[in-house]
Amino acid sequence: LVPTVIIPAKPYDFSFPLAKTALLVIDMQRDFLLDGGFGHIQGGSLEAVQASVAPTQRLLNTCRRAGLAIFHTREGHKPDLSDCPSSKLIRQAAAPGNGQHKKVIGDVGDMGRLLIRGEYGHDIVDDLQPFPGEVVIDKSGKGAFWNTTLMHKLKAKAISHLLVCGVTSECCFATTIREANDRGFECCGVEEATAGYNANFKTCTLQMIYWSQGLFGFVASLEPLLKCLA
């Protein structure tokens, strides 16, 4: 029999079979978290996303000790940008006078070319570097399921439940939870281990996840979750 863990969550307790649950750490990359990265250039406030690193590290280490499967994702593109949706480039185009960003995907920033695979800025921050054996999914979209092997790798491990954390709440975290929910995964976001570039966006994102008896899933607080997994 697979041991099941039950944690307090919204809209009601989230229960998950340990052996069938993965932790999904979304896009904790230097480009989204550090000064001079893609998020910073986009105008994102870095305070909250940087403050989410320590709680995310605690969650990651506790899940490692509990033996959960660990999946990390990274958003980024091939150096020739052939996998970059035109919408991402067009909406960000630095056309004169349109008020858009000074630099776009593929431009050279302080940590290498922005959101390009293999560049220093594209990789995960030092404190959250994947361990050997943990899966890293490179994705070109906001959601981690589209155009990736994530679904196949979760199925290969018979995963049915996901604990989800990472940045940004409003963007890749939310999109991935919605994609996972449509594919039949039971998802629980971890409040202190996700953050975004706008506090109100985070609040609304989390409320939308658990609204109406769990429209897209559950949201749990970190401390009781850590206690239940310890």
Catalytic residue among 139, 165, 187, 202: 139
Among 14, 16, 197, 218, binds ligand TIU (CB under 6 A): 197
Long-range CB contacts for residues 59-65, cutoff 8 Å, separation at least 24: 59/23, 59/163, 59/165, 59/190, 59/193, 59/222, 59/225, 59/226, 60/23, 60/25, 60/128, 62/225, 62/226, 62/229, 62/230, 63/23, 63/163, 63/229, 64/131, 65/229, 65/230
Residue 31 engages ligand TIU in binding (rule: CB under 6 A): no
The reply on whether position 16 binds ligand TIU by CB under 6 A is no
Q: Min. distance of Cβ 172 from ligand TIU in angstroms?
A: 3
Closer CB to ligand TIU, residue 76 or residue 214?
Answer: 76
Catalytic-labelled residue, pool 172, 187, 188, 202 = 172
Q: Does 145 bind ligand TIU (CB under 6 A)?
A: no
Sequence-distant (≥ 6) Cβ neighbours of residue 175 within 8 angstroms = 141, 142, 143
* 165 a catalytic residue: no
Q: Round the CA-based radius of gyration of the chain to a whole number and report it.
A: 17
Alpha-carbon distance 103 to 106, whole Å?
Answer: 8
Q: Which of 171, 177, 195, 226 forms a contact with ligand TIU (CB under 6 A)?
A: 171
Answer yes or no: 78 catalytic: no
- Here's the x/- map for ligand TIU, 61-80, by CB under 6 A: it reads as --------------x-----
User: Quick check: 138 binds ligand TIU (CB under 6 A)?
Assistant: no
Catalytic residue at 63? no
Residue 150 binding ligand TIU, by CB under 6 A: no
Residue type, 94: A
Active site residues: 27, 139, 172
Using CB under 6 A, list all residues that contact ligand TIU: 27, 32, 42, 75, 167-168, 171-172, 197
